[in-house]
Amino acid sequence: LLERAVAGALAGEFDAIVTAPVHKEIINDAGVRFSGHTEFFAERTASPRVLMLLTTGELRVALATTHLPLRAVSDAITVDSLLEAGVILARELKRSWAIPEPRIAVCGLNPHAGEGGYLGDEELRVITPAIERMRSGGIRAIGPLPADTVFVPHLLARFDAVLAMYHDQGLPVVKHAGFERAVNVTLGLPIVRTSPDHGTALDLAGSGRADSRSLSAAVRLASRLAAQRR
């Protein structure tokens, strides 16, 4: 089914793909090697770098890294990888959201964005040089900003998207802002792909308590993004 979906999307038969949650452990335990939808679509479309963006509509948060242990995040963040993330994010905000000059807030990694190197030097060594290269390329990137400050509503209103450094820096804010409206968008693909921002919740199976609102939001957003790209 996934092979059929991506082939149809690449051929222009389908305007977008919306995937439902899957349980990767169960799939792999069944003898099928599968690391996830995002990795599958990136491989099948020959996309060298994709970016996870979570949105509730008014709030957009992209992740520089995704499913990594916290201790591995610092090593995974490089000037080149952050620059690439900024380029993808800016391009997709222009193409899919019709924002002509997107303003991107770039989070720091450490508390208080490192506080001049006293609380970690990743901001000085990696994040600031990456932001400078983004700006040199015409991207309106601002930062590094303390994550506990950038999400304050009156400051957040100044930006079109936030680039967070790691999974649990960005996602809790999105889910708090609107768990039932949150949608995952895979940026960097030649096709539109969205999914609900939650897991399989197998414990709810057969209970009649499953909430379909995030999946419905994913379908609506996929339709809007596909229309914008035409």
Secondary structure (DSSP) of 190-210? SS-EEEESS---GGGTTTT--
Residues forming beta bridges with residue 39, ordered by sequence position: none
Q: How far apart are CA 22 and CA 45, in angstroms?
A: 20
Q: How far apart are CA 95 and CA 108, in angstroms?
A: 26
Provide the angle, in degrees to the nearest 10, between the axes of the packed helices 79-97 and 128-136: 50
More confident residue, 154 or 33: 154
At 203 the pLDDT is: 77
**SS3 state at 83:** helix
Please state the φ and ψ torsions of residue 138, each to the nearest 5 degrees: 90, 10
At 212 the pLDDT is: 85
Token pair, residue 171, equals 């996602």
- Region 211-223: mean pLDDT is 93
Q: Which CATH class is domain 2-229?
A: alpha beta
At 117 the pLDDT is: 93
Give the tens place of pLDDT for each residue, 9-44: 999 999 999 999 888 777 777 777 767 888 889 999
Q: How far apart are CA 137 and CA 126, in angstroms?
A: 17
Give the tens place of pLDDT for each residue, 108-136: 999 999 999 999 999 999 999 999 999 99
Give the tens place of pLDDT for each residue, 51-102: 999 999 889 999 999 888 999 999 999 999 999 999 999 999 999 999 999 9
The H or E element spanning position 141 is strand 140-145
Residue written as token pair 């807030």: 105
Q: How far apart are CA 157 and CA 100, in angstroms?
A: 17
Report pTM: 0.92
pLDDT for residue 201 is more than 90: no
Give the tens place of pLDDT for each residue, 155-187: 999 999 999 999 999 999 998 988 888 999 999
